[in-house]
Amino acid sequence: QVHLVESGGGSVQAGGSLRLSCAASGYTDSRYFMGWFRQAPGKEREGVAVIYIGVGSTYYADSVKGRFTISQDNAKNTLYLQMNSLKPEDTAMYYCAAGDFWRARWYPLSPNSYNYWGQGTQVTVLS
Q: Are 3 and 98 in contact (CB under 8 A)?
A: no
Taking the alpha carbons of 124, 47, 54, 56 in that order, is the dihedral positive or negative?
A: negative
% of residues, the chain, pLDDT over 90: 85
Residue 106 has a pLDDT of 93
Residue 30 has a pLDDT of 78
Residue 97 has a pLDDT of 97
Which residues in the chain show pLDDT less than 70? none
Residue 74 has a pLDDT of 86
**CA-to-CA dists, residue 43 to 5, 47, 53, 76, angstroms:** 23, 12, 28, 33
Residue 109 has a pLDDT of 97
- Give dist(CA 108, CA 50) in Å, integer: 7
